[in-house]
Structure 1
Amino acid sequence: MKRAGDARRVVTAAAPGTPEAGAPEAPQAAGAADAAKPAAKRSAAAGRSAKAASATGAGGSKARRSAGKKRTRTRRGASGKRRGRGRGRTGRSSGRPVRPGEAELLANGGPAREPYNESAYMAGYDVGLYEGGELLLEQATPIQRLLPEISLRDVIALGAEQIAHRCLPLLDVSEVYEEMEAAIRERRPCAVVRLGDGELLTLAQDAVHDVETIRREGGFLPYAGVHPPDLRARDELAAAIRQAHIVGVPLSRRKHFQPLLHPVLRAHQIPPESLRMTHSAVNYSLHQTGLLGRLLAGKRLLVVGNLAPALGHALNQRGYAVTGAVSPVNGVGDVERVLQEIRGFDFDLALVSAGIAAVMLCTRIAGELGRAALDFGHMADGIAKGKYAL
């Protein structure tokens, strides 16, 4: 005969969902008994999970999280595609109420759009092209005159012919090459520098534009080696331009290129007629015309800049004589230290790729060391990475 305590112990040990120990079992139909088997298995598994959770502590939390993940898995429909729970036909979360009329708009492909907005870029381009060109021609034409059938391009070409006598001559790439070759051969100084938007914005500080404008429109200047406001860099750059033998100037009419060149030179009292000028992409032109390889051949080369080691290695592999590499160049404030290091090398031609500081370095290499120096720019990247073959 079982005691009451034994019965209580049996009841306590019984798995949840199973009949209490000692209680009479209810009669079951044949189908009900079969259906109960999976349920019994699940109950037994749940009991085992509960025991494991009780024994392991943290493991129980892990089991609960795992069970939670199983409950939130996506379901697969008859087609085999995954269907997420809690989403309506529009794909939006069912937690957000559908706004009035939204379902109809979505069903019809969204709100109506004007053709103008189908290509906002082209619309803006057309407006800019008109206001920056055709409108100006329209305003310059007498009101009682009808222009003949002529394009804006043709009108500009005719106008350019009328001011050709006012244009300043630029040295072509072959003239730059010949001048550098002669300087190296005769062991006299020659500095070829180039002006781009970085140099012109640096020169424009508190001379053409206020510092806030320079900071806003010249966000790349720190990368090029100048942290505005830096009026010392501005003045040293202006002095370097005056001392350079050949100055590359931009042909581009974009905002911070040629349109900024003349105001900057005027602000620093540098008459453009006093400069021997070429175009600012002369470093690339030397390569494109095949003159760069001839310029480097047979010369003792010094490479200067953050990519100097890689550039020197690439040039050595191609058979050129690199006698030294100076790296890094940490902006215009590092010019003195870099120049002191350059003094320790013997070379015929310096290739300087150092952002805005390259202009100062080239003119000082020429003026203080009596050597030839070329503002090499991103040609260093191209050669070091194998983009340009020599």
Structure 2
Amino acid sequence: MAKLLKKRKFLSHKKVLSLIKRRMRTKRPLSLVRVGDGENIVLAQQGVWPIRKVLRTKWAKKSRRSNKKGVSLPNMRLRNQMIRALRRASIVGIPHRKERQIKAKRIFLRPLTEKNFRKYKIKPRHVCHTFINRHLPEKKEFWDMLKGKRVILISKWAKQFRRYVKNNYPKHRIRIIPISFSNYNQINRILKRVKPIKADIVLVSTGVNALVLVDQLARTQRRVAIDFGKAPMLILKRDKRVRPWKPRK
């Protein structure tokens, strides 16, 4: 499996956008999920690493001390849900073999992704870089894709991001429907709340929980659902790691 993953060609931003637009146009479901250090650590629980090794990581310690990770480890149910989500995903974002964009230690990145995928027999249909969520907003084509569309945004930053979009892209007439989210225990409630809402696409910014939400939204509600990661937060904070395209005034 590791060798197979190494041979996979990453989809370009343009190709990912093309696939998303096609599914939006034809009203067919699509799930784009991503794997970074946090997802790898959750996946590694018991199957790849002993629980005690997982719990020694800074990520796991923070998950137990605060709500910043949106889940507290150990959580085998989340691990199993993530495995199923990755097996079913339309597109999976993964780290580069020689990763330079992610600050986490290499042991938590591509090497662990390959171990996890091999252990759980995860064979993605398509792969792209895990930071596709940060690069898409930098493209004019992304914002044009959302022009005149109804967009559900599931995130604790949802309301602030709606204001940002309204102020910076007024001619695009993008309607953001904000849904607040903070932790794993809210997943079923959020899915029920979203179900009656009509939308063209769902952007999910909920940490490692995004894999579960994106999978369920695509599979049970037949939606185009994208793991949008920290993009809303970084854009709102004017973080240099994301430089969103903006129309000329």
Separation (CA, whole Å) in 1 of partners of 2:69 and 2:53: 17
- Counterpart of 1:117? none
Separation (CA, whole Å) in 1 of partners of 2:52 and 2:90: 33
Contact kept in structure 2, 1:331 and 1:356, CA below 8 Å: no
Residue 237, structure 1, aligned to residue 87, structure 2:
no
Query: Which one of 90, 95, 102 corresponds to residue 250 of structure 1?
Result: 95
Unpaired runs of 5+ in structure 1? 1-162
Separation (CA, whole Å) in 1 of partners of 2:208 and 2:32: 13
Separation (CA, whole Å) in 2 of partners of 1:346 and 1:290: 25
- Counterpart of 2:165? 315
Residues 344/263 of structure 1: CA separation in 2 closer, same or farther (3 Å cut): same
User: Which range moved further: 375-384 or 202-211?
Assistant: 375-384
Separation (CA, whole Å) in 2 of partners of 1:350 and 1:287: 15
Query: Which one of 225, 233, 237 corresponds to residue 381 of structure 1?
Result: 233
Residue 361, structure 1, aligned to residue 206, structure 2:
no
Separation (CA, whole Å) in 2 of partners of 1:165 and 1:351: 26
Question: AA paired with 1:367?
Answer: R
Residues 233/313 of structure 1: CA separation in 2 closer, same or farther (3 Å cut): same
- Counterpart of 2:140? 290
How far the C-alpha of 1:358 sits from its partner, in A, is 1.0
Separation (CA, whole Å) in 2 of partners of 1:363 and 1:164: 23
Give SS of 2:78's match.
helix
Separation (CA, whole Å) in 1 of partners of 2:31 and 2:213: 9
- Counterpart of 1:6? none
CA deviation vs aligned residue, 1:262-300 (integer Å, no higher than 9, x gap): 111122122x3x431111011122133433212222211
Query: Which one of 128, 143, 164 corresponds to residue 278 of structure 1?
Result: 128
Unpaired runs of 5+ in structure 2? 100-105
- Counterpart of 2:45? 205
- Counterpart of 1:54? none
| RMSD across aligned positions (CA) | 2.1
**Bigger relative contact order (CA 8 A; separation at least 6):** 2
CA deviation vs aligned residue, 1:217-257 (integer Å, no higher than 9, x gap): 13344522221111011000111111111000011551100
CA deviation vs aligned residue, 1:299-338 (integer Å, no higher than 9, x gap): 11111111111111211222242252111x2322221111
Contact kept in structure 1, 2:205 and 2:227, CA below 8 Å: yes
Query: Which one of 126, 150, 159 corresponds to residue 300 of structure 1?
Result: 150
Q: Kindly report which structure 2 residues correspond to 1:162-241, keeping only aligned pairs within 5 A, or say none.
A: 167-217=7-57, 218=59, 219-222=61-64, 223-241=68-86
Residues 323/380 of structure 1: CA separation in 2 closer, same or farther (3 Å cut): closer
Question: AA paired with 2:74?
Answer: P
How far the C-alpha of 1:182 sits from its partner, in A, is 0.5
CA deviation vs aligned residue, 1:109-167 (integer Å, no higher than 9, x gap): xxxxxxxxxxxxxxxxxxxxxxxxxxxxxxxxxxxxxxxxxxxxxxxxxxxxxx99962
Give SS of 1:356's match.
helix
Contact kept in structure 2, 1:188 and 1:370, CA below 8 Å: yes
- Counterpart of 1:132? none
How far the C-alpha of 1:362 sits from its partner, in A, is 1.1
Separation (CA, whole Å) in 1 of partners of 2:191 and 2:125: 25
- Counterpart of 1:325? 178
- Taking structure 1 as the reference length, the TM-score comes to 0.54
The structure having more radius of gyration, on CA atoms, is 1
Give SS of 1:237's match.
helix
Contact kept in structure 1, 2:204 and 2:228, CA below 8 Å: yes
Contact kept in structure 2, 1:191 and 1:245, CA below 8 Å: yes
Contact kept in structure 2, 1:301 and 1:349, CA below 8 Å: yes
Separation (CA, whole Å) in 2 of partners of 1:324 and 1:367: 21
Question: AA paired with 1:322?
Answer: R
Question: AA paired with 1:198?
Answer: G
Give SS of 2:108's match.
coil
- Taking structure 2 as the reference length, the TM-score comes to 0.83
- Counterpart of 2:103? none
Give SS of 1:192's match.
strand
Residues 248/166 of structure 1: CA separation in 2 closer, same or farther (3 Å cut): closer
Separation (CA, whole Å) in 1 of partners of 2:140 and 2:161: 18
